[in-house]
Amino acid sequence: MTKIEIPPDHPRRVSLETRETIIDGHERHIVATAGLLAHGRGEAFDYLIGERTSDLARRAIRAAVAAMLTARHPVISVNGNVCSLVPHDLVDLSELTGAPLEINLFYYRKEREDAILAALQEAGASRVLGTHDRPSETIPELSSNRRKVDPDGIGSADVVVVPLEDGDRTEALKRVGKYVITIDLNPMSRTAVFSDITIVDNIVRALPLMVKSVQEMRNIPADELVAIVKEFDNEENLRESLELMMHRLKLLSEDLGTLRRKVVE
């Protein structure tokens, strides 16, 4: 529920509405206080890519969906920001791919876990893993709260989707042999660099596109899906994402009028 009325013709409407959603999520204990800061960081990077999904991100989305569709046991890890921003898309992606949702929090508080569980159930989730009343196992060499995982979820997964993640766990998940997919607007973050597939895009755009891609790709034969995953080069995609940002900055520095026109667009 947004608190301030944002005029429909406001040039930064979508960004402001998303910000309101995160603030509301914080007030409902879904989003950690640090999640507000993480969101601001994301906004800054989104600005650099022009607040739209690039072809590079679309390529990564395709590879990510192919990896999920060919996985033995894919799992989607859910934190506060992700739950607040895209609860319905999480449920849709989970149902379409058979990947369970697992709550896994860096800033764990029981109150937050309960609020996230309630929000996911409200969005239609019938089964949510990773809650305190379920068994848990530990990811070795990880000291943060994220080390506790569900044995039926991340514990036994081959492919793990970890959107908006802090870097430690991605490295730990790689060390125990998981294939890691992330969504992160910062192509330089440790998560972005250590993951197998990084979608450099805002989760509010990327997740609906993943849902759409599953619907389009689910009848593709398995060997073709495997080839799509194999062909994807994450390092190259990240390098080109950085180039995209530099290119945009260069164009803008040469002609600030472009920015002025964009601002009033």
Contact footprint for ligand PTJ (CB under 6 A)? 32, 34-35, 38-39, 41-42, 45, 79-81, 105-107, 164-166, 183-186, 189, 202-204
Least distance to ligand PTJ from the beta carbon of 49, Å? 10
Least distance to ligand PTJ from the beta carbon of 165, Å? 6
Least distance to ligand PTJ from the beta carbon of 34, Å? 4
Comparing every residue's Cβ against ligand PTJ, the nearest one is: 42
User: Nearer to ligand PTJ by C-beta: 32 or 245?
Assistant: 32
Contacts 24+ apart (CB under 8 A), 49-54: 49/185, 49/200, 49/201, 49/241, 49/244, 49/245, 49/248, 50/248, 51/14, 51/15, 51/202, 52/205, 53/201, 53/205, 53/206, 53/209, 54/200, 54/201, 54/241, 54/244
Least distance to ligand PTJ from the beta carbon of 254, Å? 27
- The side-by-side arrangement of strands in the sheet containing 128-129 is 128-129, 101-103, 74-78, 159-161, 179-183, 197-199
Nearest-angstrom CA–CA distance, 255 and 265: 16
User: Nearer to ligand PTJ by C-beta: 206 or 225?
Assistant: 206
User: Nearer to ligand PTJ by C-beta: 45 or 179?
Assistant: 45
User: Nearer to ligand PTJ by C-beta: 84 or 94?
Assistant: 84
